[in-house]
């Protein structure tokens, strides 16, 4: 079950969310996402595995804006990490190494942390 897996990996209660949309309203990366943060929760609860292959978990910048503003204390940052982990742990990396150009260490190490298993 996708919802159980995500809850286990993130430690968050998906059922606490009441779909107010506050997380998505404040998410700086929302316009680049195919599903908004609150929609991601809904899709997981519906058992829609497609959410794992969506752009959203990878475009999330782990900025913690969503979770700090959530009236129900749902930390979506952790839910995004759980979705990434499900894929990375199947040994499917997300990083396209050929895109690396002149970048500071901090960006490269962060990206390998978030995009490779």
Partner 1 sequence: MKIAYYPGCTLKTDAKNFENATINLFKKLGVELIELKKWYCCGTVYSLTKDNLMYRLAAIRNLIKAKEEGYDKITTLCSICYNTLKQANEMARNDREAMDKINSFMEEEIDYDGSVEIIHPLEILKNMEDKIRENVKKPLNKKYASYYGCLLLRPKNIAIDEFENPSIMERMLEACGGKLINFPLKNECCGSYTVVEDKNAVVERCYRIISNAKINGADAIITSCPLCHFNLSEIQEEIKKCYTTFTGLPVLYFTEVMLEALEG
Work out what residue 13 binds among partner 1, ligand SF4, none; the CB cut-off runs from 5 to 8 Å by kind: none
User: Which residue is listed with tokens 């930390």?
Assistant: 75
Work out what residue 96 binds among ligand SF4, partner 1, none; the CB cut-off runs from 5 to 8 Å by kind: partner 1
Least CB distance from residue 70 to partner 1, whole Å?
A: 11
Alpha-carbon distance values, 112 to 2, 22, 63, 75, 88 (Å)? 25, 30, 17, 23, 11
Residues lying near partner 1 in the complex (CB under 8 A): 8-11, 28-29, 31-32, 58-59, 61-65, 67-68, 75, 77-78, 81-82, 85, 94-96, 99-100, 102-111, 113-115
Structure tokens at 108: 């490269």
Work out what residue 87 binds among partner 1, ligand SF4, none; the CB cut-off runs from 5 to 8 Å by kind: none
62 binds ligand SF4 (CB under 6 A): yes
Give whichever of 19 and 91 is closer to ligand SF4, judged by the CB atom.
19
What DSSP string runs through 8-69?
HHH---GGG-----HHHHH-TTGGG-SS-HHHHHHHHHTT-GGGGGSSHHHH-----HHHHH
20 binds ligand SF4 (CB under 6 A): yes
Contact 3, 14 (CB under 8 A): yes
């Amino acid at each position: 079950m996708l919802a159980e897996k995500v809850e286990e990996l993130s430690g968050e209660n998906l059922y606490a969310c009441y779909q107010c949309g506050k997380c998505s309203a404040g998410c700086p990366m929302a316009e680049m996402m195919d599903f908004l943060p609150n929609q991601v929760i809904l899709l997981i609860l519906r058992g829609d595995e497609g959410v794992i292959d969506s752009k959203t978990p990878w475009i999330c910048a782990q900025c913690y804006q969503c979770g700090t503003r959530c009236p129900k204390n749902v930390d979506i940052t952790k839910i995004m990490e759980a979705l990434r982990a499900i894929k990375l742990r199947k040994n499917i990396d997300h990083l396209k190494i050929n895109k690396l150009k002149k970048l500071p260490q901090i960006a490269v190490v962060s990206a390998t942390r978030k995009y490779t298993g």
